[in-house]
Structure 1
């Protein structure tokens, strides 16, 4: 009888030990599942933030799927922009200016609309007349989503400018469509960050207009096909859709009259 009681107690002890182990195992499983869920959520958040950051970098503002021309960030308030050296908008004379932008020996005929974008055109006239652009590079080519060659940065990496910034945006297309041949000013998210960097659209491109679009200066009237064959078709140096051109591009001269 005593032997049976002892055996029963041992069975109950083994059962309690087993149940305790099962409870520990269950808790570990729950903790592991919880940790995996938390890690998964964290990964999703990180990826979402990284994607958002990439979109912001590429578009100069959130919400668009393709890279857009951008410059160094500048003050967002008109009163805070650097106006000390900004050329007077009167310089554009409310008329069309014609000239030649020469890249790698390729002469692009250009027309700038001083009536539609007086401040931007006045700035370009002033910089061109000073020889500011001579010898500068076209540092950025985009070949995926949008189709532009970006030029005019004295730093050569997208961070430079003429020592002043101005705004707001002028003459931006209401539908966000920039036809091939368009010449427009690059900027960051702020409308008051325009400086010396501009971009040439070599194929019809739609750019986000949620922050005001981009100032259209004018158009390339000749030479675009030659630029495409000599520079654009070679793509970017690293083969990506947004980067330095595989064929280095230098502004030989920029004349306007």
Structure 2
């Protein structure tokens, strides 16, 4: 009887060890994958306080806590480290629209478009229409509070940067977002430049929020995510620059169809492919 109990304990220890290996492997996939924020530790069961950076790209950024958990990068594969340069550190809260923007070269570019103008039109009211194969999504852009981010987005749209690109990532556990903005469709592509964070004070990622993917302060590029359901476990680290005012149900229907779990349970490519055919910018 004692031998049987000892064998059961040994099998339990081995099973636990295998589970830990699988969790570490999932963590490595997140580190190498394309992600956008941080997910609550409960998603992967790694214990209280563990968070996961969700960005898009190749190299790792610092973890959000001391608890064991992976991190990821939004920088293009083979590009510079995601650690922010002096020219691309997080911007201080502005009293009004920014009057000057700094965009720092960060090659390679998924599509060659150059750099946005350094002087934005902070007084303009912009609305972006994502024309997709699933329908039309309309976004009011927050130009007053995220001026340089909107300036970049409007510039890229004008260069047809987003045309015929796929939304490469869908998460359906812990955080609820659809990630887009990479012409390469891998989560490793960017515009060849990076810029500072904005509009982070009090940021909350409620349903309808549109925010930038990143790998730490000052690593914004072209990848962004649309929140189709409240994702309040995300910290205020991802520049909110828009609000979906029409078409959120399209994204929610894509989410209902699920993900292929390529990066782990509830995280991968959307089963229903989403293609941004073009982005139209209007001044209502």
TM-score w.r.t. structure 2 length?
0.65
1:137-216 to structure 2, matched below 5 A, reads 137-167=166-196, 169-172=197-200, 174=202, 177-188=204-215, 190-209=216-235, 213-216=237-240
**1:47 CA displacement:** 7.2
Q: Which is greater in Rg?
A: 1
Determine if contact 2:39/2:233 at 8 Å carries over to the other structure: no
1:255 corresponds in structure 2 to 280
Distance in 1, matches of 2:195 and 2:209, equals: 20
Distance in 1, matches of 2:177 and 2:149, equals: 19
Distance in 1, matches of 2:256 and 2:21, equals: 35
Distance in 2, matches of 1:159 and 1:126, equals: 20
Determine if contact 1:109/1:221 at 8 Å carries over to the other structure: yes
- Segment of structure 1 superposing worse, 190-199 or 132-141: 190-199
Determine if contact 2:30/2:54 at 8 Å carries over to the other structure: no
Distance in 2, matches of 1:91 and 1:141, equals: 32
Long gaps (5+) in structure 1: 1-35
Listed one character per residue, the Cα deviations across residues 75-102 of structure 1 (whole Å, up to 9, x for unaligned) are 3133375614442353242343113111
1:32 corresponds in structure 2 to none
Aligned residue-pair number: 218
Determine if contact 1:182/1:200 at 8 Å carries over to the other structure: yes
**1:163 CA displacement:** 1.2
TM-score w.r.t. structure 1 length?
0.71
Relative to total residues, which structure has the larger helix share, 1 or 2? Answer: 1
